[in-house]
């Protein structure tokens, strides 16, 4: 169910040992035509009707390109305008991805996402920790003051499973084949390939935010 592959092309990304990403060169190139720096999503998805422009980051903790994009994400999100809402959606293109998606939503349920999100990336990519086994995750969470009882509650939580199903459905609707990618207002998708490099992604995102404000 949750372990089903989002898209057939995603099989190429399912190996944990690979540097999963969107398959594009991530060095920056000048944006010569902003209208070609993003993709229009065939079936736009609903976003919260709160008068804000909604921006979603699609990611996987095991993805090297997602890790390298994180500094851009953090820099951009730290200056978020009042009329822009930001959220993360973990992709589930294979078993390893599903396990990490569960871990992400566990951090949300436990209220420790801000403390753990960047550290999970670092643990995997800088320290060589897989964080695939329950015991590995429990040890990691314990460092943030999470008791064994609270960990097990979150691990088996209906809320976590429900959020995973919703995320899987949303990413299927976007028809993405790789991460990282950014979606603006459920309508437009931006990745390093369309933007001409990771450093350009949020230039395009800001352009699309302005477009949606009008």
Q: Taking 90 as the threshold, does the pLDDT of residue 174 lie above it? A: yes
Give the C-alpha separation, 187 to 205, whole Å.
Answer: 12
How much is the pLDDT for 27? 62
pLDDT grade, residue 5 (50/70/90)? Answer: very low
Class of 8-213 per CATH? alpha beta
Residue 65, judged by CB atoms within 10 A of its CB (0-12, 13-18, 19+), counts as: buried
Q: Taking 70 as the threshold, does the pLDDT of residue 31 lie above it? A: yes
Domain segments of the chain as ranges = 8-213
How much is the pLDDT for 62? 98
Give the C-alpha separation, 185 to 208, whole Å.
Answer: 9
Q: Taking 50 as the threshold, does the pLDDT of residue 36 lie above it? A: yes
**119-156: pLDDT as tens digits:** 999 999 999 999 999 999 999 999 999 999 999 999 99
Q: What is the pTM of this model?
A: 0.87
């Amino acid at each position: 169910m949750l372990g089903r592959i989002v898209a057939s092309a995603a099989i190429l990304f399912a190996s944990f040992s690979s540097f999963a990403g969107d398959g594009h060169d991530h060095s920056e190139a000048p944006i010569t035509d902003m209208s070609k720096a993003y993709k229009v999503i065939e079936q736009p998805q609903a976003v919260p009707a709160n008068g804000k422009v909604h921006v979603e980051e699609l990611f996987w903790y095991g993805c090297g390109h997602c890790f390298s994009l994180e500094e851009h994400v953090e820099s951009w999100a730290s200056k978020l305008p009042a009329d822009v809402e930001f959220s993360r959606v973990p992709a589930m293109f294979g078993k390893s991805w599903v396990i990490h998606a569960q871990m992400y939503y566990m951090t949300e349920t436990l209220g420790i996402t801000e403390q753990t999100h960047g550290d999970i990336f670092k643990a995997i990519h800088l320290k060589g920790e897989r964080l695939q086994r329950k015991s590995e995750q429990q040890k990691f969470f314990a460092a943030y003051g999470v008791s064994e009882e609270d960990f097990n509650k979150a691990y088996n939580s209906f809320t976590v499973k429900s959020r995973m199903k919703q995320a899987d459905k949303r990413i299927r609707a976007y028809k993405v084949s790789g991460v990282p990618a950014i979606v603006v207002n459920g309508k437009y998708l931006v990745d390093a390939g369309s933007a001409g490099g990771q450093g350009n992604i949020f230039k395009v995102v800001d352009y699309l935010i302005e477009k949606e404000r009008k």
